[in-house]
């Protein structure tokens, strides 16, 4: 039997011993008068307190036992003396293990070394832990286990808790900014009859009662635009999207986006909104506008615009009206290998995107002047109809946001849909025919923004339960 099994066996024996004493080892409601963080920050010598949390360490010294107790806010030391608890309660301390969840009552004091401690008058078992916590949890060999057993990761890694507290504050901060500007938060369907609003392979499902196939949404865009038609002029959704594509350090099949639409605005308005959201959220959550990401310093007080069309021409000689065959020829001349199957314009853009996206800059960069054929839902530029009034925002080499002046011409929109060759959303076109005001739309990757704000290299670090291969 392995060492782990021995520990588990010992824990289960203690569980049975507790039961034999007539004590329920999985507790009842426990009255807590303050969290540990407040006790520590507002220390009041001699105050009687009631707390609850998980035992993270224990040290026995004859007639005294010390525990470390942690809740979601902080850690505090517990002191148990035989003279204070009496023989029966003191003997019961042997039934406790690291990992157990307990409720305690006692008096606050400081030890000779100045450590804030609760002198116990009572301790109760609230949940007996039947598995040992890992002694060594950090390190690459445990990365897959950390993501799969996130609950253990959160118990033993305080830095991981900080990431998800930051994530929560980022989302709250974005909501506050948009709510203050009069935007209405809405919810649109996650199951859709047509997978539209973005380029991506959808997950397919079937509704038994309606006898119809549906798709998990790849984007909420078309539904949000229908709300502009209906008269809501400022709407946003913090939404879950699903794309049946690869998994990488920047891609998870299920991800969170912010989508914002504002009537009577345009791409320029969305550019200003994106900058405001990111800068204000950084100041609120991080308290600064200069952040460190993977060895790079990103200055959020400096913003730059670069032209995608110019980058394509300078790097590859590719022009907006070049066909796919011309793209392949020009890319091949520059040493870019193209798979014979990858001949669509969108697939070619994905290949060159990695080559032209701004990586070296130490501030946010708006990539503008995107080719019209790559943006079926964006308005063309008046001075150059082969380009669109659109931007992609990059920070630290990561694409964070995408925005454009929304195409609201139903005739042109139908033509664009037909050019892409996909399924045409007739209901969306019907909505446009009732009249959609000129508008700007913005999509921002919440997961990726949190990656930047927490200096996380892998998107799975900022998603509580990322998608993984089946456990063996």
Question: What is the DSSP track for 368-415?
Answer: EEEEGGG-TTBPEETTEEEEEEEEEEEETTEEEEEEEEBP--HHHHHH
What Å distances lie between residue 377 and 390, 420, 464, CA to CA? 10, 11, 32
Q: According to the model, what pLDDT value does residue 154 have?
A: 94
* 242 domain-assigned: yes
Residues 123, 36 share a domain: yes
Q: 224 near 443, Cβ under 8 Å?
A: no
Phi/psi at 167 (nearest 5 deg)?
-55, -45
* 271 domain-assigned: yes
CATH code where residue 90 lies: 2.40.50.140
pLDDT in tens, the chain (472 residues): 445 679 999 999 999 999 999 999 998 999 999 899 999 999 999 999 999 999 999 999 889 999 999 999 999 999 999 999 999 999 999 999 999 999 999 999 999 999 999 999 999 999 999 999 987 655 545 688 889 999 999 999 999 999 999 999 999 999 999 999 999 999 999 999 998 888 889 999 999 999 999 999 999 999 999 999 999 999 999 999 999 988 889 899 999 999 999 999 999 999 999 999 999 999 999 999 999 999 999 999 999 999 988 888 888 898 988 877 888 888 888 888 776 665 566 666 666 666 667 766 899 999 999 888 778 889 999 999 999 999 999 999 899 999 999 999 999 999 989 988 778 999 999 999 999 999 999 999 999 999 999 999 999 999 999 998 888 7
The 3-state DSSP class for residue 468 equals: coil
Q: For residue 146, with 0-12 CB atoms within 10 Å meaning exposed, 13-18 middle and 19 or more buried, which class applies?
A: buried
* 144 domain-assigned: no
* 83 domain-assigned: yes
Q: 358 near 343, Cβ under 8 Å?
A: no
Residues 115, 30 share a domain: yes
* 73 domain-assigned: yes
Distance (Å, whole) CA 161 – CA 159 = 5
Residues 297, 216 share a domain: yes
Residues 164, 80 share a domain: no
Q: For tokens 């397919």, what's the residue?
A: 204
Residues 278, 189 share a domain: yes
Q: According to the model, what pLDDT value does residue 1 have?
A: 40
Q: According to the model, what pLDDT value does residue 140 have?
A: 43
CATH code where residue 231 lies: 3.30.930.10
**Structural domain count of the chain:** 2
Q: Is the backbone of residue 470 left (phi > 0), alpha (psi -120 to 50) or beta?
A: beta
Residues 111, 205 share a domain: no
* Neighbouring residues of 192: CB distance < 8 A, sequence distance ≥ 6: 214, 215, 216, 217, 223
Residues 176, 103 share a domain: no
What Å distances lie between residue 149 and 83, 116, 146, 156, CA to CA? 41, 32, 5, 11
Residues 170, 276 share a domain: yes
Q: According to the model, what pLDDT value does residue 325 have?
A: 83
Give, as one character, the DSSP assignment of residue 106.
E
* 329 domain-assigned: no
Q: According to the model, what pLDDT value does residue 345 have?
A: 60
On whether the pTM is more than 0.75, the answer is yes
Last residue of a domain, one of 96, 127, 158: 127
Last residue of a domain, one of 92, 127, 162: 127
Residues 166, 96 share a domain: no
Residues 261, 186 share a domain: yes
* 355 domain-assigned: no
Please state the length of the chain.
Answer: 472
Name the residue range of residue 457's domain: 150-303+363-461
Q: 34 near 49, Cβ under 8 Å?
A: yes
Q: For residue 28, with 0-12 CB atoms within 10 Å meaning exposed, 13-18 middle and 19 or more buried, which class applies?
A: exposed
Query: What does the DSSP assignment read for 279-318?
Result: HHHHHHHTS-SEEEETTEEEETT--EEEEHHHHHHHHH--
Residues 230, 161 share a domain: yes
147: Cα within 13 Å, side-chain hemisphere: 18
Residues 408, 260 share a domain: yes
* 265 domain-assigned: yes
Structure tokens at 109: 């004091």
């Amino acid at each position: 039997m392995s060492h782990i099994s021995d520990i588990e066996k010992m824990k289960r024996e203690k569980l049975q011993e507790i039961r034999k004493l007539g004590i329920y080892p999985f507790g009842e409601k426990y009255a807590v008068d303050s969290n540990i963080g407040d006790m520590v920050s507002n220390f009041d010598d001699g105050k009687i307190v009631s707390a609850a949390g998980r035992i993270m360490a224990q040290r026995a010294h004859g007639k005294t036992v010390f525990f470390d107790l942690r809740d979601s806010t902080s850690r505090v030391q517990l002191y148990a003396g035989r003279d204070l608890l009496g023989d029966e309660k003191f003997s019961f301390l042997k039934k406790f293990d690291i990992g157990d969840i307990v409720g305690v009552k006692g008096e606050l004091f400081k030890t000779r070394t100045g450590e804030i401690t609760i002198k116990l008058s009572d301790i109760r078992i609230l949940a007996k832990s039947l598995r040992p916590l890992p002694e060594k949890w950090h390190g690459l060999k445990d990365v897959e286990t950390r993501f799969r057993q996130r609950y253990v990761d959160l118990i033993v890694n305080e830095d991981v808790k900080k990431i998800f507290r930051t994530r929560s504050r980022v989302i709250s901060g974005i909501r506050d900014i948009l709510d203050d500007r009069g935007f209405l938060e809405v919810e649109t369907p996650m199951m859709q009859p047509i997978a539209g609003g973005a380029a991506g392979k959808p997950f397919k499902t079937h509704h038994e009662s309606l006898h119809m196939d549906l798709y998990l949404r790849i984007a909420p865009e078309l539904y949000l635009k229908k709300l502009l038609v209906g008269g809501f002029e400022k709407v946003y959704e913090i939404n879950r999207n699903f794309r049946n594509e690869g998994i990488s350090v920047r891609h998870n099949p299920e991800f969170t986006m912010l989508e914002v639409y504002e009537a009577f605005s345009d791409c320029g308005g969305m550019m200003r909104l994106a900058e405001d959201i990111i800068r204000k959220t950084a100041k609120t959550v991080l308290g600064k506008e200069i952040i460190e990401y993977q060895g790079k310093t990103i200055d959020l007080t400096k913003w730059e615009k670069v032209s995608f069309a110019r980058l394509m021409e300078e790097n590859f000689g590719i022009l907006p009206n070049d066909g796919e065959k011309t793209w392949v020829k020009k890319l091949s001349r520059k040493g870019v290998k193209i798979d014979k199957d990858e001949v669509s314009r969108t697939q070619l853009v994905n290949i060159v995107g990695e080559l032209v996206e701004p990586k070296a800059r130490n501030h946010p960069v708006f990539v503008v002047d995107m080719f019209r054929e790559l943006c079926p839902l964006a308005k063309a530029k008046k001075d150059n109809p082969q380009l669109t009034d659109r931007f992609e925002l990059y920070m630290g080499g990561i694409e964070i946001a995408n925005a454009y002046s929304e195409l609201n011409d139903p005739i042109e929109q139908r033509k664009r849909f037909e050019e892409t060759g996909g399924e045409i959303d007739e209901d969306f076109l019907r909505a446009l025919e009732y009249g959609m005001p000129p508008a700007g739309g913005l999509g921002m990757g919440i997961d990726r923004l949190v990656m930047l704000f927490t200096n996380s290299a892998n998107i799975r670090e900022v998603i509580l339960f990322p998608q993984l291969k089946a456990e063996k």
